[in-house]
Structure 1
Amino acid sequence: MTQPVSPPRYDSGKAPATAPPPAWRTLAARADVRTLSLLGVLAVLIVIGGVTKPDEFLDTRNLQLVLTQASVIGVVTVGMTFVITSGGIDLSVGAIVALASVWATTVATQEYGFAGILFTALAVGVGCGLVNGLLVAYGRMVPFIATLAMLASARGLALQITDGRTQIVTVDSVLSLGERDAYVLGIPPLVLVFAVVSVIGWLVLNRTTFGRRTVAVGGNAEAARLAGIDVRRQRLYLYLLSGLCCGIAAFLLIILAGSGQNTNGNLYELDAIAAAIIGGTLLSGGRGTITGSVLGVLIFTTITDIFALNNLQSDVQQIAKGAIIVAAVLVQRRTASTT
Structure 2
Amino acid sequence: MSVDATAENGTPGRSGTPAPDPDRQQTVAAEAPQQSRLAAVLASPAGRNLGLIIALVLLCVVGLATAGDRFGTLANAMTILRLASVIGVVSIGMTFVICGGGIDLSVGAIVALSSVWATTVATQAMAADTHWVVMVFTAVVVGAACGLVNGVLVAYGRIAPFIVTLAMLAAARGLAEVIAKRRTQIIEDRGFIEFFNGSVLGVPVLVIIFALVAAAGWLLLNRTTFGRRTLAVGGNPEAARLAGIRVQRHTASLYVLLGVACGIAAVMIMARTATGTSTHGGLYELESIAAVVIGGTLLSGGRGTIVGTVIGVLIFTTLSNVFTLNDLDTSTQAVAKGAIIIAAVLLQQRVAGRTHKT
Please give the TM-score of this superposition, normalised by the length of structure 2. 0.86
What is the Cα deviation at residue 324 of structure 1?
0.6
In structure 2, C-alpha distance between the alignment counterparts of 1:241 and 1:284, rounded to whole Å:
19
In structure 1, C-alpha distance between the alignment counterparts of 2:152 and 2:42, rounded to whole Å:
35
In structure 2, C-alpha distance between the alignment counterparts of 1:74 and 1:325, rounded to whole Å:
17
* Residues 72-116 of structure 1 deviation map (CA, whole Å, 9 limit, x = unaligned): 000000000000001100000000000001111111111122111
Amino acid at match of 1:257: T
In structure 2, C-alpha distance between the alignment counterparts of 1:26 and 1:79, rounded to whole Å:
28
* Residues 2-37 of structure 1 deviation map (CA, whole Å, 9 limit, x = unaligned): xxxxxxxxxxxx99x9xx9xx9x9579621111111
**SS at 1:293 equivalent:** helix
Aligned to 2:193: 175
Aligned to 1:31: 45
**1:246 aligns to 2:262 (yes or no):** yes
In structure 1, C-alpha distance between the alignment counterparts of 2:181 and 2:331, rounded to whole Å:
29
**1:96 aligns to 2:115 (yes or no):** no
Amino acid at match of 1:150: M
In structure 2, C-alpha distance between the alignment counterparts of 1:31 and 1:171, rounded to whole Å:
44
Aligned to 2:162: 144
Aligned to 1:11: none
Q: Give matches, 1:13-52, under 5 Å.
A: 26=40, 30-52=44-66
Q: Give matches, 1:93-172, under 5 Å.
A: 93-113=107-127, 114-172=132-190
Equivalent position to 2:274, from 253, 258, 277 = 258
* Residues 202-221 of structure 1 deviation map (CA, whole Å, 9 limit, x = unaligned): 01100100000000011000
In structure 2, C-alpha distance between the alignment counterparts of 1:324 and 1:236, rounded to whole Å:
31
Amino acid at match of 1:279: G
Count of matched residue positions in the alignment of Structure 1 and Structure 2: 319
What is the Cα deviation at residue 172 of structure 1?
1.1
Distance 1:134 1:26, change over 3 A: same
Aligned to 2:71: 57
Amino acid at match of 1:36: L
Equivalent position to 1:219, from 229, 235, 258 = 235
* Residues 251-307 of structure 1 deviation map (CA, whole Å, 9 limit, x = unaligned): 011111110111100000000000000100000001000000000000000011111
**1:318 aligns to 2:345 (yes or no):** no
Amino acid at match of 1:122: V
**1:76 aligns to 2:94 (yes or no):** no
Please give the TM-score of this superposition, normalised by the length of structure 1. 0.91
Structure 2's unaligned 5+ residue stretches are 1-24
Aligned to 1:270: 286
Distance 1:146 1:127, change over 3 A: same
| Cα contact 2:196–2:268 (8 A) shared by 1 | no
**1:230 aligns to 2:262 (yes or no):** no
In structure 1, C-alpha distance between the alignment counterparts of 2:281 and 2:226, rounded to whole Å:
28
The runs of at least 4 consecutive aligned structure 1 residues that moved more than 6 Å come to none
In structure 2, C-alpha distance between the alignment counterparts of 1:258 and 1:305, rounded to whole Å:
22
Q: What percent identity do the matched residue pairs reach?
A: 58
Amino acid at match of 2:76: N
What is the Cα deviation at residue 238 of structure 1?
0.2
Amino acid at match of 1:281: T
Aligned-CA RMSD value: 2.0
In structure 2, C-alpha distance between the alignment counterparts of 1:28 and 1:225, rounded to whole Å:
32
What is the Cα deviation at residue 333 of structure 1?
0.5
Structure of larger gyration radius: 2
